[in-house]
Structure 1
Amino acid sequence: MTTTRPEWKTAPVWFIGAGPGDPELITLKGARMIAEADLVLYAGSLVPPVIIEGAKPSATVMDSASMNLEETHAAVVKTVRDGGTVARVHTGDPSLYGAIREQMRLLDKEDIGYGTIPGVTASFAAAAASATSLTVPEESQSVIITRLEGRTPVPETEKLRDMAKHRCAMAVYLSAAHPERLVEELRVGGLEDDIVVVIAYRVGWPEQKIIRTTIGNVCETVAEHNLTRQTVFLVLPGEDNKEHFSKLYDAGFLHGFRN
């Protein structure tokens, strides 16, 4: 079934991906919508204040860190009913661990239109900051974005140990508080201790830390650098110190744009 949302271009509510923390990694469209909004509602525990400094002087700016869903929804509805527009600013990309589904459903019930502006998620920012290619020709051609099970359950078919069995690149979010469990799940999934792991803490923030280590040294590294929240782990089985080149620019590889 094909669905369309013709109202999105003029929607009064926008879910905006602020990126990982670097104010220059928000999209032009996201920054423009923040600048035009009458209410800027942002996740202050994750989104740096500099991201929302572009809000207009007359805008109401609210930090949603201490608010629940009913409170944020009430603020959004009041603004829209008063004829205003809303920038709901999320860290990274709002579609990933962004809790936007429940917000959208409430807006649907109120018959309030909304749109989404994507953002740079932490795993891609971490790959960029560490000069890492997540895909390696002939070694790893897929990327899994996942997390350890915590207070939010993980489906039985998506346990980290089962994801590890694919031996492709993995970006593991929301797991720094339990590095021992992380390492154990990777080992049970068949990954060796010498496999490369890039640990990115607050990537894009001034206090960013990018640390290259291995599965066997993850726990020691996390403890040494006191890494807790806002940490993503890039698990890279394809990083084997061998030369793997794409055929895209190989002189002997012909395609529609090169004879």
Structure 2
Amino acid sequence: MPGTVWFVGAGPGDPELLTVKGRDLIARAGAILFAGSLVNEAATRWAPAGCAIADSKDMTLQQMGRWLVAQAQQHETVVRLQTGDPALYGTLIEVVQALDAAGVPLAVVPGVSSAMASAAAAVESFTLPEVTQSVIFTRVEGRTPMPPGESLAELARHRCTLCIFLSITLLHKVEHGLREAGWPEDAPVLVVHKASWPGEERIVRGTLHDIKQRCRDAGIVSQAMIIASPTLGARDWPELAKSKLYDATFSHRFRRASLVPGEPS
């Protein structure tokens, strides 16, 4: 029987944001294929001596599949390190099909998305009571077309949080989509370059009106998350609608509400 190929989410960049399970798989892997154009090579530092490590940045999809199949014939544990989480904007299904065809067992380990790392870097929340309770992960159309009904303008009309992947070089299209959806010029926009990468992370804050110029001035042209949300900047708001979960007047199965706000029940 061939070994198992594990698709491991390498997280956003900081190798310490790998899950414990992912790190342990790397530590016993006989072979590792990592996406060098996006994954910090430091994530392979736990690999054992003699581990075969290859970078997939100059491989085709077919070459990746053949490499993983060949390594699974030789090793019990093979790791494919993918940026962020394997389920988001990766080649998971395409490569899985090649492994299925070859009869190679596989499994997936989730990872921290760059969207989550960007919110953490900027100390922002995607959701706030009575502001928005929904988050959309999307991108704008480039060489990969968007399916019908998924243009940024159509999605942005919901006025919820938008995490826009793979679109920093298409910031003009992001601006156009938000304006078409009716977002005001002073709507806050956050851009985080290489979220969590030690020594390389940069945070740019602006508005729909000026975010493109601010990113241009900062020289940010790759590996950046764009977040547009009505929740941005809430840390400085003088008033916030508070969560009911921790409201003293709100009962749930772990706590009985008090009759007077602020007093213990």
Please indicate the TM-score interval, normalised by the length of the shorter structure. over 0.9
In the other structure, the counterpart of 1:39 is 31
In the other structure, the counterpart of 2:203 is 210
TM-score by length of 2: 0.91
Superposition RMSD in Å: 1.5
TM-score by length of 1: 0.93
- Mapped to 1, the partners of 2:204 and 2:245 lie a distance apart of 30
In the other structure, the counterpart of 2:255 is 258
Aligned residue for 2:203, secondary structure, equals strand
**Given the alignment, which residue of 113, 118, 128 partners 1:136?**
128
Question: What is the Cα deviation at residue 190 of structure 1?
Answer: 1.2
Aligned counterparts, 1:199-238, within 5 A: 199-205=191-197, 206-238=199-231
In the other structure, the counterpart of 1:146 is 138
In the other structure, the counterpart of 2:261 is none
In the other structure, the counterpart of 1:112 is 104
**Given the alignment, which residue of 231, 240, 244 partners 1:247?**
244
- Mapped to 1, the partners of 2:196 and 2:8 lie a distance apart of 17
- Mapped to 2, the partners of 1:243 and 1:213 lie a distance apart of 22
How many percent identity over aligned positions? 38
In the other structure, the counterpart of 1:3 is none
Residue 167 of structure 1 pairs with residue 159 of structure 2: yes
> Structure 2: where are the runs of 5+ without partners?
257-265
Residue 16 of structure 1 pairs with residue 21 of structure 2: no
Query: Deviations along 1:34-63, whole A, 9 cap, x unmatched?
Result: 111111000001111111111111110000
Question: What is the Cα deviation at residue 11 of structure 1?
Answer: 6.3
Aligned residue for 2:206, secondary structure, equals strand
Contact 2:165/2:224 (<8 A) preserved:
yes
- Mapped to 2, the partners of 1:238 and 1:29 lie a distance apart of 33
- Mapped to 2, the partners of 1:105 and 1:235 lie a distance apart of 35
- Mapped to 1, the partners of 2:49 and 2:150 lie a distance apart of 46
Question: What is the Cα deviation at residue 166 of structure 1?
Answer: 0.2
Runs of 4+ aligned structure 1 residues displaced above 4 Å come to none
In the other structure, the counterpart of 1:5 is none
Question: What is the Cα deviation at residue 82 of structure 1?
Answer: 2.4
- Larger Rg: 1 or 2? 2
Between the two proteins, the alignment pairs up a number of residues equal to 251
Aligned residue for 1:158, secondary structure, equals coil
- Mapped to 2, the partners of 1:43 and 1:211 lie a distance apart of 26
Question: What is the Cα deviation at residue 253 of structure 1?
Answer: 0.7
